Amino acid sequence: PTASAHAAEHDEPLVIAHRGASAYAPENTLAAVDRAADMGFRWVENDVQRTKDGELVVIHDDNLKRTTNVEEVFPDRAPWKVADFTTAEIARLDAGSWFGPEYAGARVPTLKQYMNRVSHNHQKLVLEIKKPELYPGIEQQTLRVLRNEGWLDRTHVSSKLVIQSFSAQSVQTVHALRPDIKTGFLGTPATADLPKYAEFADQINATHTSISADYVSAIHALKGPHGKPLEIFTWTVDTAANTRRAAGFGVDGIITNTPDVVRRAVAED
């Protein structure tokens, strides 16, 4: 390719399949990861929480109701919090039927199972530590699972993994424990506060409705903890118009439930 084609390729935002290809398969399941891979997407995003017996599982809500049949299987266990169920109990739940009958039998994966599948598919991961205030020590535990699954090899870690959270404290903890891992803070801090975040986060991952060209420029003008320009992955962008808007601001990544829509809009630009 010519030099300019190269630059154009480089300028395109990464497309990250949010909770897997979650418009097309049940979110945060192995089916959603596989669906993203089948569609040609290397980057997926997920959410991590902890069970009653201390295992990390991949699920968005802190409650099992919306994405599983927990109310049917355990009618007497209201309010059906993830943290009140053992891993074995969660493994019995159907996490696919709510989305469509063809996904009946999909499970809530453990983080270990999830990492195995992402590795198998040669995919890369934006891992969100969800509600860390409910799960003391979840940062250390997440890093332990990642290390055991071979994800913390120092030569590759920064190219295939971002750990993000809405909790600045949690992001700081991950950065302190493993400074070589790329981190993201979820939120839209005031521009004046960005330098503070740039001390421990490589990315400011703001909702797309909250950003502007000036905000993205302010992010890029700073350097993150690794001495590289601070980045922004924006979410959750599911239409061509919103993709063009975010891409026009120069965001580094777009987190989306409909990665095909985003890819098409970026390619047409």
- The verdict on 201 binding ligand G3P (CB under 6 A) reads no
What is the rounded CA–CA span in Å between residue 43 and residue 250?
Answer: 19
- The verdict on 61 binding ligand G3P (CB under 6 A) reads no
Stretch that binds Ca ion, among 29-37, 40-48, 97-105, 258-266 (CB under 5 A): 40-48
Candidate residues 186, 201, 211, 254; the one interacting with ligand G3P per rule CB under 6 A:
186
Contacts to Ca ion from residues 120-139, by CB under 5 A: 128
Mask for 115-154, x = binds ligand G3P (CB under 6 A): -------------x--------------------------
Contacts to Ca ion from residues 82-111, by CB under 5 A: none
Q: Which residue out of 10, 18, 122, 175 is catalytically annotated?
A: 18
Q: With beta carbons less than 8 A apart as the criterion, state whether 233 and 251 touch.
A: yes
Candidate residues 13, 16, 23, 47; the one interacting with Ca ion per rule CB under 5 A:
47
Residue 265 CB coordination number (10 Å): 23
What does 202 bind: Ca ion, ligand G3P, none (CB cut-off 5 to 8 Å by kind)?
none
- The verdict on 255 binding ligand G3P (CB under 6 A) reads yes
- The verdict on 235 binding ligand G3P (CB under 6 A) reads yes
Question: Which residue is closest to Ca ion by CB?
Answer: 128
What is the rounded CA–CA span in Å between residue 41 and residue 36?
Answer: 5
Residue 14 Cβ vs Ca ion, minimum distance, rounded to whole Å: 16
The residue behind tokens 């992001």 is 171
Residue 45 Cβ vs Ca ion, minimum distance, rounded to whole Å: 6
Q: Which residue out of 60, 120, 122, 220 is catalytically annotated?
A: 60
Candidate residues 25, 45, 125, 173; the one interacting with ligand G3P per rule CB under 6 A:
45
> What Å distances lie between residue 50 and 83, 132, 133, 213, CA to CA?
6, 9, 11, 38
* CB closer to Ca ion out of 47 and 218: 47
Active site residue 18: yes
State the pairing for strand pair 56-58/124-129.
unpaired
Residue 204 identity = I
* CB closer to ligand G3P out of 131 and 153: 131
Q: Which residues belong to the active site?
A: 18, 60
Positions in the binding site for Ca ion (CB under 5 A): 47, 128
